[in-house]
Amino acid sequence: MKNHSLQAALLFISIAAIGLISCQAQERPNIVFIMADDLGYGDLSVYGSELIQTPNLDKLAARGIQFTDFHTNGMVCTPTRAAVLTGNYQQRTGLSEVVACRWHTNVGLEPEETTFADVLKLGGYHTALFGKWHLGVEEKYNPIHNGFNEFAGFTSGNVDYHSHINLNRDLDWWQQDKIKDEPGYQTEIIAQHAIRYIQNAKKDEPFCLYLPFGAPHTPNQRPYSKVERVPGHLSKKDQEAFRDSINQTIPKPPEGYKLAESKQDRFLDISIEMVTFLDDCVGKIVTELERKGLIDNTLIIFTSDNGPRKMLSSGPFKGGKGSLNEGGHRVPMIMSWPSVIEAGRVSDQLLMTMDLFPTLAQATGSALPKGLKLDGTSFLTLLKKEQEMPHRYCYWGKSSGRAMRDGQWKYIENEGGTGELYNLTQDLAEANNLAAQESKRVKKYSALINTWYEEVTKGVEQVINHKEITKRAEEARKKSK
C-alpha cells in the first residue's frame, strides 16, 4: 500500500540501490514499453502473418529477442493492464473483468496499489504514460496518481480515433489529470507525444515511457477515414452532426487511396491499415531513440494486452479475445536492448505480463518496498543469457471459467465444472481433449486451480462483468412488475 511511511522507506531503499550501482544514471537503461490493443499472435509478419507486413517490428525482433510462449494475464483489456502495473494476478486488485465506462464509474486501480511506475519513479526514473489507461475513468484513478509524472491519453476502453469521444458520448482525452482534447488520429498523437518526450529527455535522468496504444482495438478507423465507427451509440441526428464536424479535420488521403467495396473486405482493409500504421509509429519512435544516441541502452518492449479481435489473427492457436484457449492470451512479445540482449534470439520460455514489473525493477536497479510480494517473477537473467526459469504453474481466470499451464499441459475448467486438457507439445490448436484419458491429472489440476482462485480473491470484491450487471438489472426489473 502506498502511504507516506512506505514512500519514505521505498525512497531510502531506492537511493541505496542507486548507490550500489555507483549512482551513474547513464548506466541505467531507459525503458520504452509499448503495448498494442487486441493484437493477436498472428498479426505481425515476424510471427508468420502473410496478410500484414510489419517491417519495423520485424527489425526490432531481429535486433533482440522474440518470445513464442508469452501470455497476457487477462483475456481482455483491464485485467491484463492491472497485472502489468502491479506485478500480480489481477484478481488481487479486484479488476478481473473489463471496467466499462457505462457501468463502472466508481471502479479502478486504487492509488494505494504499488505500481511499477511507483517503484521506478522513487528509484530515480522519470515516468510517463501516453495512450490507453482503462483502469478507471474517474479522475481519482488517473495515472498521475499511480506513479506517472506525465499522462496524455484516454481512460475508458476505447474512443473514436479522430474525435476522442467514448461510448458514453463524452470527450475522453486527458492531459495530466484534466480533460483537454488535442486534434489528430489517436495512434499518431500517442507516437508524437512519445517522440517529443524522448527529444526532451534529460541526460542525467533515466526514463520509463509506457505507451499502451489503442490500436488496433475498435472502432475500426483508419487515419484518412471519414467516420467509420460502428453506428449505434449516437442518434442518427447526432451521427450526422458528428460526421459533419469531424470530417473537416481529417486529412485527405493519398492519391489512389480507395476503400474496398464489400463491408467485410472494407473491415479487413481497415484492420490491416491500423496495424501497419502502428508499426510505422513504432519505427518512428525507434528512429528518434537512434537519433538521440539512446538506442543501445534502452530496453524496448512490445506486446499486446490480449488475443485478437474480429478480423485479426491468433495464428495457429484456437480462440481470440476473451477466450481461455491459447489464442485468447498467447500474444507477440519482442524485447530489444542492444547493449545487453544478443540479437536474433528466440525463446519458448513460458512468461506472463505480470513478470514485467519485477523484471523492470531489477533491470533498472529500483528496489521493491520491503514486504511487497509479487506473483510475477523477474526474467532478467533470461534476457542476459540463455537460462531457463524455474518451473511454476501459471493461471488465468474470469467469471466464466479458469485455466492453468503446467509445462506442456494446459487445463481449462469451464463454468459448470466441465474440464478440458491438452498436451500443447502435440496439440497447439487444442483440438484433442485428453480429459477423459487423464482423469488423475484433471483432478490434480482442478484442485490446484480452485485453490489458486480462492487465494487470489480472498477478501477482495471482484468487478462484475457488464453482461452480469445487465442480467441482474433485467431480473430486478421483472421482479418489480
pLDDT higher than threshold 80 for residue 16: no
List, for residues 382-394, the tens digit of each pLDDT value. Answer: 999 878 889 999 9
304: enclosing H helix or E strand: strand 298-304
Phi, psi dihedral angles at 181 (to 5 degrees) = -75, 160
Please say whether the beta carbons of 299 and 32 come within 8 A. Answer: yes
The contacts of residue 79 (CB under 8 Å, 6+ apart) are 73, 90, 95, 96, 97, 98, 398
Nearest CA to 167 among 115, 110, 218, 93?
218
Q: What is the mean pLDDT of residues 399-426?
A: 95
pLDDT band at 198 (very low <50, low <70, confident <90, very high): very high
pLDDT band at 255 (very low <50, low <70, confident <90, very high): low
pLDDT for 137: 87
Q: Strands, E, within 190-260: which ranges?
A: 207-212
Q: What is the mean pLDDT of the chain?
A: 87
pLDDT band at 257 (very low <50, low <70, confident <90, very high): low
pLDDT higher than threshold 70 for residue 85: yes
Q: How far apart are CA 281 and CA 337, in angstroms?
A: 19
Q: What is the pTM of this model?
A: 0.88
pLDDT for 147: 97
pLDDT band at 253 (very low <50, low <70, confident <90, very high): low
User: Which residue has cell 463491408?
Assistant: 263
Nearest CA to 99 among 129, 76, 122?
76
pLDDT for 267: 76
pLDDT band at 302 (very low <50, low <70, confident <90, very high): very high
Residue 365 to residues 29, 74, 123, 248, 324: CA-CA distances in angstroms?
A: 9, 28, 8, 49, 35
pLDDT higher than threshold 50 for residue 348: yes
Among the residue ranges 105-114, 259-268, 280-289, the one predicted with the least confidence is 259-268
The full length of the chain comes to 481
List, for residues 264-297, the tens digit of each pLDDT value. Answer: 667 788 889 999 999 999 999 999 999 999 999 9
pLDDT for 72: 99
Domain spans in the chain, listed from the N-terminal domain onward = 4-388, 395-480
The contacts of residue 166 (CB under 8 Å, 6+ apart) are 101, 154, 156, 157, 158, 159, 160, 172
pLDDT for 21: 43
List, for residues 33-84, the tens digit of each pLDDT value. Answer: 999 999 999 999 999 999 999 999 999 999 999 999 999 999 999 999 999 9
Q: What's the CATH code, domain 4-388?
A: 3.40.720.10
pLDDT higher than threshold 90 for residue 25: no
| Options 3.40.50.2300, 3.40.50.10140, 3.30.1120.10, 3.60.20.10; CATH of 395-480 | 3.30.1120.10
List, for residues 427-466, the tens digit of each pLDDT value. Answer: 999 999 999 999 999 999 999 999 999 999 999 998 877 6
Among the residue ranges 212-216, 266-270, 422-426, the one predicted with the least confidence is 266-270
Nearest CA to 133 among 120, 118, 112, 150?
150
- Could you tell me what percent of the chain has a pLDDT over 90? 70
pLDDT for 170: 86
